[in-house]
Chains A and B, each alone.
Chain A
């Protein structure tokens, strides 16, 4: 039996078409044109806008596990880890209620913690923007991190 490249390509094309069709009509699909992490109501800010907010006194929240925040953080950011949200929220609620603006970030690239934290803040009546692509975007823009160890 000889190898037929047309069949090889047909398998790839048919599989791709079936996937796109299933996503469009299968009832379990999602919007392909934007990050899968973004849901209705999420407010996303790019790094330049986030920096402007920081300069205007916005409060930054680090949604990563607290050990990561202890090692380094965007300057001035408080820790509000997704997995310990309720306890950490109670600790900093006063700061949050007084803040002129809130930006949440995490480690970027598929990190969903900032989105989850922003939604949970919204449930408590607090509007928080999400830094698109998180810390990698911050670093790529040449902006500083505070690497002073915290307890």
Chain B
């Protein structure tokens, strides 16, 4: 398993998938910062003014780290930035779930409100819950693989 994760093509695929996910996730939030600020506030992790600051800065960090990861520039550093963001997201989601707060729209990739129950993707993929927690843990695993120290053999094959 460890050898497979160190394969250059696997690393390339992880870089593109993770980078593209974070670039995509940032766009709607950058375009609608006020709507995203309302969602951040609904998480009840920070107050209204810190929520505003998070809402205007976080998507740009996501965008920058995602683009760097895709471009293969500062790969380990950008992967660790994404890992750090994911740790914060996981901790915040855990806090929301532990306190029993109902957040219908997590604001993870879109600031649009949840539509009718029949819409796709289903509402449970958009709120703060177990799906979000598991997805972020998988993404965190991918980010940590990309941020890990290189073995001497890797340096030849990975650009």
Contacts and interface: CB of A to CB of B under 8 A. Distances in A.
Nearest to B29: A19
Interface string B55-86: 11111111111001000001111101100000
29 contacts: A3-B77, A3-B147, A11-B65, A11-B68, A11-B77, A11-B81, A12-B61, A12-B81, A15-B57, A15-B60, A15-B63, A16-B57, A18-B63, A19-B61, A22-B33, A23-B33, A23-B56, A28-B32, A30-B37, A32-B53, A33-B49, A35-B41, A36-B37, A36-B38, A37-B38, A37-B41, A110-B38, A110-B44, A110-B51
Interface of B: 30-34, 37-39, 41-44, 48-49, 51-53, 55-65, 68, 74-78, 80-81, 101, 147, 149-150, 155
Contacts of B41: 35-37, 109-110
Given A7-B77, A8-B80, A22-B30, A32 B38 contact: no
Contact of B64 (A14, A23, A29, A36): A14
A12 B77 CA distance: 10
A29 B33 contact: yes
Contacts, number: 101
Given A8-B81, A33-B49, A110 B39 contact: yes
A36 B51 contact: yes
A20 interface: yes
A55 interface: no
Nearest to A31: B52
A35 B56 CA distance: 13
Given A3-B80, A7-B77, A8-B80, A15 B61 contact: yes
Nearest to A15: B61
Contacts of A111: 42
Given A7-B77, A14-B64, A110-B44, A19 B38 contact: no
A38 to B, nearest CB: 9
B31 A28 contact: yes
